[in-house]
Amino acid sequence: MYNSKIVGAGHYVPEKIVTNKDLEKLMDTSDEWIRERSGIEERRYIEFGKDTTANMGTKSAKIALERAGLTADDVDFIVFATLSPDYYFPGPGVIVQHELGCKRTIGALDVRNQCSGFVYALSVADQFIKTGMYKTILVIGSEVQSNGLDLTTRGRAVSVLFGDGAGAVVMQRTEDNNKGILSTHMHSQGEFAEALCVKSPGNFKETKFYEDMHIDYDYSTCLMDGQLVFKNAIVRFSEVIMEALQANGYTADDLDMFVPHQANLRITQFVQRKLQLPDEKVYSNIQRFGNTTAATIPIILSELWEKKGIKEDDIFVLAAFGSGFTWASALIKW
C-alpha cells in the first residue's frame, strides 16, 4: 500500500478587506467586542462578478500545482470541500476541472462537512492514493460566505466571524511509509445538527424552499448556539488530536506545528494550553481572515509554504471542529 504526501500548497483571498471598524458602521458592535470574543481584526469579502467559490478554488489550485512543479494534466482527481457552492447543484469540483483546462475528463467529488470539510477531503484523497487508484489528487477548500451574512445587529453574533477565501494542496503518491499522511480520524454527532446550521434549502416545510428561503429568517440564515459550539469544540479538538498522536506513537511534545481550523482564537488558545504547546508551534491567521470554514487549514498550509515554515520530517497535526457536529484530525510527517 502507498502513502500520500502534500507536494504543493496555494491560496487565494479576495482583495477587499473588511475591518471591525467597517462592521461598526453596519451594526451595533465594536472592534473591542469582536477581538475579545473571537480574536478577529479583519476579513476578506469577494467583489461580485470577480470571485466565486469555484474560481477562487481554481486560483489557489493553480498556485499549488505550480509550487509542486505539476500541471493540470497531471491531476487524476479533484476533491472540493465547501459549504457555499456557486450552484445548489452541481458542486464546484466540476467547475474547477473545466477552469483548470484539464485535458482529461477526470472525476471531481464535493465534500460538505463545513468547518471539518478540508480534513475530511484530505482523508478521502489519502484513501484513494493509498489504495493505488490515483497518483495525484487536488484537494481544495473554498468559501464565499459574505453574501449569506446578515450584516445588521440582528445577525452580528455570527456575521462578524466569517470571511471569504480559498486554499488548495496537491497530494501525490509516495512509497515511503514513514512520510506523508500518517493517519486521519473523523467523527460526527448529529444530535447537535441544529446547534450550527442553515435550514434552507431543505425539506423542513411543505412549501418549496425557493418560495420562502429569502424571507423566512430562521430558515435562510446561519443559526448558532455559540456557547454550546464552544464547549464542544474545546473538548473534541483535544480528543481528536490526541487520537492522532496516540495512533502513531507520538505525544504533543513531538509536534512541530499545530494547524487548527480557524474558528475562534479563544478555542485555539484553550487547546494550546491543554497540549502545553509554545506559541511558535501553533499557527493562527484568524486575525487577518476570520473563519473561512473549509478554506482555513489549506490557507495556513500555503502561508507556511510561502514562509518556508515547513521542514523535512516535521510533524504536523491538522484539526477541525464544526457544524454537524463533525470533527477530524490528520497527522502528517513532511
139: number of Cβ within 10 Å: 30
Cα(125)–Cα(251) distance, rounded to whole angstroms? 26
Nearest to 51 by CA among 108, 12, 109: 12
Tell me the torsion sign for CA atoms 259, 262, 265, 267: negative
Nearest to 58 by CA among 29, 37, 21, 86: 86
Distances 153 to 30, 97, 172, 317 between C-alpha atoms, Å = 11, 40, 46, 37
Cα(264)–Cα(266) distance, rounded to whole angstroms? 5
- Tell which phi-psi region holds residue 287, choosing left (phi > 0), alpha (psi between -120 and 50) or beta: alpha
Cα(210)–Cα(4) distance, rounded to whole angstroms? 42
Peptide bond into 316 cis (omega under 30): no
Strands (E), 113-267: 136-143, 165-174, 180-188, 196-197, 223-224, 257-260
Cα(116)–Cα(141) distance, rounded to whole angstroms? 10
Question: To 10 degrees, the CA torsion angle through 144, 161, 170, 63?
Answer: 70
Question: Using an 8 Å Cβ cutoff, are 115 and 323 in contact?
Answer: yes
222 is catalytic: no
Of these residues, 55, 113, 185, 261, which one is catalytic?
A: 261
Question: Using an 8 Å Cβ cutoff, are 221 and 307 in contact?
Answer: no
Of these residues, 115, 222, 232, 264, which one is catalytic?
A: 115
Residue recorded with cell 463545513: 114
Catalytic residues: 115, 261, 291
